[in-house]
Structure 1
């Protein structure tokens, strides 16, 4: 466990991508099975613990220290795991340090009643860094700046002629501690093969076109096709036959989570052999509904006939990955598109249709379609369009986010000038900064003009702007509510933030009655007094326009 904790500690403070890969590769190379496999599972987020939850460790520390002192310390440190690791009053009784695999199996297998005592014994046996790593495992938020893709890249570097995409292609048929994966990469065993008749295929992702310098000059429109980017949930519908010949269907999220149980009404439509990449939408009365309507089907514990009737699920197909037993991912997109059109036509199922392509001759024509999807070909579904996808006609379907093949060009975000109301410290590297902001707009109330919160944001600014915002919060705090600071926001004092967001929803949790989707700070309006910030009527008008 100590070696794994030291790895996490090094990764958390190492800013360089290649250095992170080397750190993980060295650990995997020098650590035996199954320990390295459990470490890989932890870094890639592949572990789940039924009973090990953050409230368990909070209860443990509050039994051993003053709860008020703990809250003050947590507010100062900014990270729960780090605070408990430092404050834990270890009762030393053994020099035995548990192995990572032992801890993970214990977290998975220990009963709910016995788990708190077991965690306490581990915390007693570990040093501060080890305790921090253990608590990070339990809370499920490592925040060490190493993505799952980066960890798989480190695994691939252990072998000869093994690429990260090769690891991605076999990943979703594997389970911790990944002994067959390491054996294959190191040349000691065959390539792992899944027994799942309807496996998940790692998705291909797009690069934001704004990140491509001078893209209009750099990209030739003749090399690309365009299609609508729908405001739903990216899914993969897969089906295949098991050794007995029975057809098995699955619906996966973009990350490979099996969500079939949440959409039984769609499983009957996946009555083909193959795999489709598409968008999960709600299609009602021949019209694609908003993302707010789709949310009524997400994260539901009980799927009732009424729910399925009121919110009928639908797949709008983007790509055909497998047809029958033929893997099409190596074919050019233009060829896969023709195969997809014929496939959907033969399927003839109203639950699955084809995402239409957008005709354009040059970038100016495509720009016009993006600005007005209704006249650009989206018709009655225009309000459900999130933007455009540009795909090279000769692009194969490869995992990850390859450069230069697919681009996403979202519609311009909405903007509102809102007043900073509250601030809270961030986590991890931002634990010493007030980086999480609540902002509001003006509304006429019984006692005159009042600010009502409409959203929270914790990104969109540079490190230099964060430092400026942090200084403003500290100098202009007028009240404290635990870890939250209230900031001055009188009409003539305070700070206005230009907030960009993707959309609005009705909300019963917000006093304003509205909530933003994906808000981010786009600009600090040092030039604008709070009294000139926007009003709730502006957001209400946007809601009415969106239907």
Structure 2
């Protein structure tokens, strides 16, 4: 655990991507199997332990320290793992009798130890470790490392151990399991590529850069791009093939490669072909795309029953064709893949797998108009499900990652509302010392009196300077506490108004306001505006009616 905890500690204080990559490479070179494989799995989010939960850790620290002291410390520190690591008392007389565990030992025992025995095992480890090692152990248990390392960066560091490209690692990644010994053997030249004979593998997705609408139209030729709609669902990949035994294998993946097939069996049943499709998962009934909130009712479920499937029927609006009958089409130019996709979907003739239509425009002015008014090009239900445009070079191959200059996304202008800060909570990782998670509300008349009703939460969009300003305001204007949540004064004359940007609205029975925002973020601080002058719920109701008309 010593080397792993040292790595996490250094990564958490290093802001530069190149330096983080160098640290990872150095650790992976110096560490032996299987420790380095488990470290890689932890960094990429591929380790989960069914019996090790935050509640278990809270119970352990409650037995070792005063509950009120822990509550106050957690409120100050803002991070559960760090709080427990600092508060955990040294075990009397056990320093020489209990040895610090290795990373592989920790992972193996967390996976195999029963629920009743696990508290004693973790407590013994905490007794044997120092503060930094305890923090790393607890981060490993909870699964939230938060050290500024993405899965892509970790895989890039693996590729740098040899002469491979990160995309080559991505190609085989989803066929591997921790501790990745075959992967390291390949990267270091001790063996060939890992066996990836999966008939329905996940293929790393190609992503787009946001369009800079002030600069990019000046340097890019509009006629070099193919334009299509950016749909308001979730990006998926539908793969199907036949294994060596002749059995059909079909899977539905999320953008990150998570297998979500069990939650969408109605879509998987459609995959009776040897191909891989890239598209958008939507809820569609009677030919009409339904709001994203309907899709959310099926997301993050392990299974879906007949009633749920009937009420919220899923469909795929297809963007691209990545493979067909064993042939990898990704190296082909986009237009050639598009032609093959159109022919393929015509042969299927299934409305649940339909083609994302091309936007037939040829200049930037027309692109801007389509982005502004999709209803001029699409039926109302489809137009309300559009969140912008996708612009793809006609000759672009399908390249994993986010290659420069190939694909662009031009999202529609966000909606804006002035809302009052109501509650705040500390963030995690680097933000654990700041109140950075905010709940905000708008005014609604209730029994003749104006009251604030929450309409959303946000934890990004602001600058570092604005974060410090809000944090200072929260500390100086807290009027109540609910565990880690602070209630902030929202007096009509003395509160803080936030300009909130968001992508859309949906009806919600889970929120007091009856509305739920899509992707809210803090646009700016309105020190120039009093809370009494913030927006009202009627403004949002009018907006919702207009966007769903």
Matches within 5 A, 1:32-431: 32-91=32-91, 92-93=94-95, 94-160=97-163, 162-210=164-212, 214-377=215-378, 380-431=381-432
Partner Cα separation in structure 2 for residue 25 and residue 69 of structure 1? 40
Partner Cα separation in structure 2 for residue 193 and residue 73 of structure 1? 49
* Cα offset, 1:213, TM superposition: 6.2
* Cα offset, 1:337, TM superposition: 0.6
* Cα offset, 1:49, TM superposition: 0.9
CA contact (8 A) 2:236 2:252 kept: yes
Partner Cα separation in structure 2 for residue 98 and residue 502 of structure 1? 48
* Cα offset, 1:129, TM superposition: 0.7
* Cα offset, 1:418, TM superposition: 0.4
- Secondary structure of 1:492's aligned partner: coil
CA contact (8 A) 1:455 1:515 kept: yes
User: Deviation digits for residues 389-427 of structure 1, max 9, x if unmatched?
Assistant: 111111111111111111111111111000112222222
- Secondary structure of 2:369's aligned partner: helix
Partner Cα separation in structure 1 for residue 196 and residue 219 of structure 2? 41
CA contact (8 A) 2:240 2:274 kept: yes
Residue equivalent to 2:533: 532
Structure 1 residues 67, 509: CA separation in 2 closer, same or farther (over 3 Å shift)?
Answer: farther
Partner Cα separation in structure 2 for residue 206 and residue 98 of structure 1? 43
Partner Cα separation in structure 2 for residue 447 and residue 6 of structure 1? 60
Matches within 5 A, 1:499-510: 499-510=500-511
Q: Using the TM superposition, name which of 510-519 and 216-225 deviates more.
A: 510-519
* Cα offset, 1:30, TM superposition: 0.7
User: Deviation digits for residues 472-500 of structure 1, max 9, x if unmatched?
Assistant: 22223333333332222222222111000
User: Deviation digits for residues 28-49 of structure 1, max 9, x if unmatched?
Assistant: 0011111111110000001111
Structure 1 residues 138, 414: CA separation in 2 closer, same or farther (over 3 Å shift)?
Answer: same
5+ unaligned residues in a row in structure 1: which ranges?
none
CA contact (8 A) 1:507 1:515 kept: yes
User: Deviation digits for residues 149-205 of structure 1, max 9, x if unmatched?
Assistant: 111111111112x11111111111111111111111111110123132111111111
Residue equivalent to 1:470: 471
User: Deviation digits for residues 92-112 of structure 1, max 9, x if unmatched?
Assistant: 252511110110111111111
- Secondary structure of 2:125's aligned partner: helix
CA contact (8 A) 1:358 1:377 kept: no
- Secondary structure of 1:357's aligned partner: coil
CA contact (8 A) 2:38 2:104 kept: yes
* Cα offset, 1:220, TM superposition: 0.9
Structure 1 residues 89, 358: CA separation in 2 closer, same or farther (over 3 Å shift)?
Answer: same
Partner Cα separation in structure 1 for residue 79 and residue 479 of structure 2? 24
Partner Cα separation in structure 2 for residue 170 and residue 520 of structure 1? 36
* Cα offset, 1:379, TM superposition: 5.4
User: Deviation digits for residues 113-167 of structure 1, max 9, x if unmatched?
Assistant: 111111111111111111101110111110000101111111111112x111111
- Secondary structure of 1:297's aligned partner: coil
Structure 1 residues 149, 450: CA separation in 2 closer, same or farther (over 3 Å shift)?
Answer: same
Structure 1 residues 327, 282: CA separation in 2 closer, same or farther (over 3 Å shift)?
Answer: same
Please give the root-mean-square deviation of Cα atoms over the aligned residues, in Å.
Answer: 1.4
CA contact (8 A) 1:368 1:376 kept: no
* Cα offset, 1:510, TM superposition: 2.5
- Secondary structure of 1:188's aligned partner: coil
Residue equivalent to 2:546: 545
* Cα offset, 1:300, TM superposition: 3.3
Partner Cα separation in structure 2 for residue 341 and residue 435 of structure 1? 47
* Cα offset, 1:375, TM superposition: 1.0
Structure 1 residues 357, 427: CA separation in 2 closer, same or farther (over 3 Å shift)?
Answer: same
- Secondary structure of 1:136's aligned partner: helix
The count of aligned residue pairs is: 545
* Cα offset, 1:23, TM superposition: 0.2
* Cα offset, 1:360, TM superposition: 1.0
CA contact (8 A) 2:290 2:381 kept: no
Structure 1 residues 49, 462: CA separation in 2 closer, same or farther (over 3 Å shift)?
Answer: same
Partner Cα separation in structure 2 for residue 543 and residue 68 of structure 1? 45
- Secondary structure of 2:63's aligned partner: helix
CA contact (8 A) 2:264 2:303 kept: no
Q: Using the TM superposition, name which of 9-18 and 398-407 deviates more.
A: 398-407
* Cα offset, 1:505, TM superposition: 2.5
CA contact (8 A) 2:291 2:385 kept: yes
Partner Cα separation in structure 2 for residue 424 and residue 471 of structure 1? 13
Partner Cα separation in structure 2 for residue 350 and residue 126 of structure 1? 59
Structure 1 residues 332, 379: CA separation in 2 closer, same or farther (over 3 Å shift)?
Answer: farther
Partner Cα separation in structure 2 for residue 350 and residue 533 of structure 1? 45
Q: Using the TM superposition, name which of 300-309 and 175-184 deviates more.
A: 300-309
